[in-house]
Amino acid sequence: MISCTFSTLDTLFAVVRLPPQSPPSWATDSECFTSITRTSDELSIVCASHLVPEGVAAEHGWSCIKLHGPFAFDQVGILASIANPLAATQIGIFAVSTFDTDYILLKELDLSAAISTLENAGHRYVADRV
C-alpha cells in the first residue's frame, strides 16, 4: 500500500481556459502554486483565484492538496492511491503533476471530506497549510 504525506495550500484557486497563446502576465505574477499548460487547442491555467481578471472564463472555488514528494518516476500508483478513495466518495479532482510531486485540486466544499477520506485510506495529513 502506498502512503503519502499531504498538506493543503492556503489559497483558493481558479482553473482558466484561454486560446493557445502566450500566458498573460497576470497568470505569471504570483509566487504561489501556478500551472500553465498549452496545447494546440487551448491554454489551461491554474492560479490563485484572485489573480484572474473580471471577464476571463474561469471556474473558481478550488482548494489544493499538495502531495509531499519527491516521487521517483518509476514509482507506480501514487496518483491512484489518492484518486481512487476520493472517487469512491464522489469527490472529483483535477490533478497537476510537477517534476517532484503532485497537486490535487478539488472543490473547496469537498476539502474537509477529502482530508478525512485520505486519512482513512492511510495517508498522513500535515495540518500546517503551506
Beta bridge partners of 95: 104
Q: What are the tens digits of pLDDT across the range 67-112?
A: 998 787 888 888 999 999 999 999 999 999 999 889 999 999 999 9
Pairwise CA distance, residues 89 & 120, whole Å: 12
Beta bridge partners of 106: 63
Pairwise CA distance, residues 14 & 6, whole Å: 21
State the CB neighbour count (10 A cutoff) for residue 66: 20
- Which position has the higher pLDDT, 59 or 1? 59
pTM of the predicted protein model: 0.89
The band of 128, judged by pLDDT with boundaries at 50, 70 and 90, is low
Burial class (CB in 10 A: 0-12, 13-18, 19+), 60: middle
- Give the pLDDT confidence score for residue 8 in this predicted structure: 95
Cβ-proximal residues to 19 (8 Å cutoff; 6+ apart), any chain: 42, 43
The band of 61, judged by pLDDT with boundaries at 50, 70 and 90, is very high
Q: What are the tens digits of pLDDT across the range 12-48?
A: 999 999 988 878 888 887 788 999 999 999 999 999 9
